[in-house]
Amino acid sequence: MKLLPMLLLLLPTAASAVDFCPNSMPTKNWGIQYQLSGAHQGTLLLLRQQAQTAFYNPQNQVAEWWRFDNPQHPQFSRVFGEAKRRIDYYMGDLRTLGVQVSQAEIESFAANHLRQALTKVPQSDCAEAEAYEGDYHQVHYRMLWSTALQLPLTLETTVQGKVSRWQAQQFVNSADVTGHFQQWQAYKRTDFADVGDNEQDPFLAKMINQGFVEHSEHAAYDSRGNPLGNHSH
């Protein structure tokens, strides 16, 4: 399965998880704000609404939007807020492009699978969390996992002596989460299968030229144009 999409493509270095240690999952639409530092600076939002999960970069208004109303036939969209456009992918597109999708992995930042590959260790930072550490695919990981949210609060990686970390900071309120999904739903949409027939469209031509959209083994790209799921297991 292809895992660890934006997670490992936008890694940071930052503070402790002590200040954000939730003891329950919000009951309505909700999100988590992650602060990124180190090689990549900025903010990343994880947004959840029923069967929908999105990763949103507010700096460039690019989102990865997954819908699992039918878990066996997920839908995916690349969202471009500045242009008010989105490109939709369906199960046939994902299958043709060789992308394997797990709802549990998308909803956990692909860290659920990673957690199972690490060793549980003692920690005192957060009573509602579990700590994990270990080596996986030549990377050393340290993770603080929220048992309430089923998400990482921190994830630290060490590669050839270089340490990076990303940090959960706070919840995103329900109204903001709802607003994002409503906006994206209203954007002008193009089916991925039709992109090749619409290269005269300036927006699509730009996306193709920048590598955000191409007919390759990858159906989706992160906010920097790197293919989602470049970690194969």
Model pTM above 0.85: no
Q: What is the pLDDT of residue 212?
A: 65
Give, in order, the Cα–Cα distances in Å from 222 to each of 32, 50, 126, 158: 18, 23, 31, 22
Q: What is the pLDDT of residue 40?
A: 62
Q: What is the pLDDT of residue 72?
A: 85
Which pairs with CB-CB distance under 8 Å and at least 24 residues apart come from 209-216?
A: 212/78, 213/78, 213/87, 215/97, 216/97
Name residue 168's amino acid.
A
Beta-carbon-side half-sphere exposure of residue 76 (alpha carbons within 13 Å): 28
Tens digit of each residue's pLDDT (9 = 90 or more) over 138-175: 999 999 999 999 999 998 888 888 887 889 999 999 99
DSSP-assigned states of every residue in 97-122: TT----HHHHHTTTHHHHHHHSEEE-
Residue 2 has pLDDT above 90, yes or no: no
Query: What CATH number matches the domain at 2-232, 2.50.20, 3.30.160, 1.20.120, 2.40.10?
Result: 2.50.20
Q: What is the mean pLDDT of residues 119-135?
A: 93
Tens digit of each residue's pLDDT (9 = 90 or more) over 37-50: 766 667 889 999 99
Q: How confident is the model at residue 18 (pLDDT cuts 50, 70, 90)?
A: low
- Which residue bears the tokens 């999105």? 54
